[in-house]
Each structure stands twice: as C-alpha cells, then as structure tokens.
Amino acid sequence: MLLWCAQLSRDHARENSNTSPGEHTSRCIIGVMRTHRPRHGEQYDLFGCCLCAFCLALAVVNRVTDEQFPLLIDVFFAHVVEYIANSQEGERSTRREAVSHIKRFMKWCKQNDITDITMVRQGEIESFIHWPVTMGGRSRRPGWSTMRNRLGYLRRAYKAARELGYEIIDPTIDVVVLFDRTVEANLCTDEDIKRLRDGAPLELFDVSWASVEVLAEAGGTNGEIRSVRVADVDLEEGVVRFAGNARVDERINPLTEWGVMVLRERIANLGTDDFVVTNGDGHQCSEATISQMFKHIANYANLGSKGFNINSVRGWRARAIYEETGRIQDAALFLGNRSLDSTSLLIGLEWRESA
C-alpha cells in the first residue's frame, strides 16, 4: 500500500516538473497536518493520528526511493552511463558509442523540457530517433543506420537501468525502425570485388582483415562474421557454416576459390575453437570493428567514396546467384533472409513486378 501511494505521489509531483517527489510528499504532509490539526480545546482523534503516521511512512518510502533510484533525467542517465562505461559487455569502442548516443538523448530531453525519465514514452523515443542530424551547419534527416543505432543504444540504456534495479516501463519495446525503401541497393560490381581483394593483400595486412572480405563474399553478416570459428570452416568442401542470429537463419554457404586460399593461410596455426576474425589483441571483434576493418580495406582499394559496406558484398554474391538460377528464393537462402522483400531490397531487384 505504501509503495502504491508513493508511486501516486510521484505521479502527482511530475505535474510540476520543478517539484521532486520527496518535496511534493512533504508538502502533502504539511497540508494534511494543517487540515487535521486539533482546534482549541480539542485533541487528535485516532483517524488523524493514523493519517499522520501514514504520511510520515510515505515520506520515508519516497525519500529512500528517491535516493536509491533517482528519476531526474540527468541523475538517472548519469548512473546508466557510468554503469555501461564500466561494464564488460561489448568492446570499449562500442561502449563509448553507446554513451555518446545516450548523452545526445539527454540533450534532446533538455531541449524538450523533459526532466523526469518517466515522462519518456514511445512518442518521445520515436521523435528522438528521427531527430535531424546537423553537419556543416545544416540539418538533414538521419539515415536508416543512424536511426537504428539510436534505438539500439537507448534499448541498451533501459536494459542497464533494469540491471541496476529500476522498475520502469521500457518505451523502446514497440518502436520499430523501418528500412527506407526509397534507397537504392549499393551493390559491388565484379571489378569492385577484384579491387577489394587487392585492397586486403595477405602480405600487407593481417590475414584476419582479408578474412572479413572472404566471409562477406560467403554471405555472412557483421554479427555472423565476428562469430565464425575455425571449426565452422571446411576447406576440403569449400564451405563455411554461419550460425545465424535473430535476423538471419543458420546455413552452410560456399566459399570462393580466393576465399579458400585466404582461409587456408589464416587458420593454419589456429585451434578449432579460435575465431577466424579477431581484433588487434587476438580477441573476438565487435560488429563495429568488422565494419571498420572493411572500411579500411575499401579505402586502401580507393573505393571509400562509394560507401560500400558488408551488405554491398553480400548483395553482389546473392545477385549473382539470382541471375544464375532465376529464383529469388535461392538468393534469400544464401543470405539467410526469411523475407523475400528484404532480399529484393538488398540485391536491388523489383521481384514482384518481374514475377
């Protein structure tokens, strides 16, 4: 009962953003005491005493809750940011990126007079995700990847809050970032692939870098590439197993001849449980690190200005499979996609019109 009333008091306090729940409760107590204080010659009745005792207990509950689980935006996110920064989940660069997006959300909240975390609802999350990006003094609509990153890091923030013991509604649960279907597929050509392979020569970079290109040509996503172990590679058959994830299905895909050559050198001195692609410390990479490795290869191949990414390579191979078999389903199986629509977007095909 006390906890319910404490929450009710906090809800009323939020109607005035300048009043904290604890201050609001104190004012309530003073009001109750004034209303029920005895007049001249009277004494407190039992009801009045119980009511005052109840209000005092309510104040204690609110004070303890305010101290342990502050809900003011600045204090709340300060705790969350500190927790994420000091956690061991993900690489340090990923944690820094999460902290950067959370601080940007704090700035957005201040601009929109949001002072309490419980004032954040699904509408506020969606507004922030579509908040324009400012570059060179000009504002533009955020790209699909930026919106997806914003949502992902806010979800990480609310997850951290739950791990800290907060019991608040997560407004990010029902938010969806839809892929912009007006964006044309940015596929590599055969010549681009040749240049990318030349951009990761085995004698110049660690073979791990070339392995990123190899596994992308085999249809792996960033998340799958980082998770491939030596045991998943069969050089005799020339295939690699991708474990899949929440977005794509598990599958076994063929390697290219160049890919077999690269992986043969890469895994020669590795154990079966070792990761094929690792960072500079020899540990498993994050998805962001996989993207950075690919960007370095593209820049060295003088293709950095084309904006290619892992999906540009995956789409190149999947498109070749579609052109060979004439079945978009075969391209979807190669990519691990459950949706033919998403497959058509990735390979740049208006398949419904051509069906």
pLDDT in tens, 161-218: 999 888 888 999 888 776 554 445 689 999 999 999 987 765 444 567 889 999 999 9
Lowest mean pLDDT among 64-68, 152-156, 312-316: 64-68
Look at residue 66 and tell me whether its pLDDT is greater than 50. Answer: no
Q: Do residues 295 and 287 lie in contact, with contact meaning Cβ atoms separated by under 8 Å?
A: no
Dig out the tokens for 48 from the structure. 């009045």
The answer to pTM > 0.75 is no
Q: Quick one: average pLDDT of 258-287?
A: 90
Look at residue 290 and tell me whether its pLDDT is greater than 90. Answer: yes
C-alpha 109: how far from chain center: 19
* Helix axis angle, 190-198 to 310-325, nearest 10°: 140
What is the dotted CATH code of the domain comprising 190-354?
1.10.443.10
pLDDT tens column, 108-162: 999 999 998 889 999 999 999 999 887 666 777 887 778 888 998 999 999 999 9
How many angstroms separate the CA atoms of 226 and 277, rounded? 6
The residue type found at 127 is S
Dig out the tokens for 76 from the structure. 């709340």
Q: Which fold has domain 73-164?
A: DNA polymerase; domain 1 (1.10.150)
Q: How confident is the model at residue 17 (pLDDT cuts 50, 70, 90)?
A: very low
Q: Select from 62, 55, 10 the least CA-distant residue to 37.
A: 55
How many angstroms separate the CA atoms of 270 and 130, rounded? 45
Q: Do residues 185 and 345 lie in contact, with contact meaning Cβ atoms separated by under 8 Å?
A: yes
- Ordered by start, the domain boundaries in the chain are 2-68, 73-164, 190-354
* Helix axis angle, 92-111 to 144-164, nearest 10°: 90
Q: Do residues 319 and 331 lie in contact, with contact meaning Cβ atoms separated by under 8 Å?
A: yes
Dig out the tokens for 41 from the structure. 């010659």
How many angstroms separate the CA atoms of 148 and 109, rounded? 19
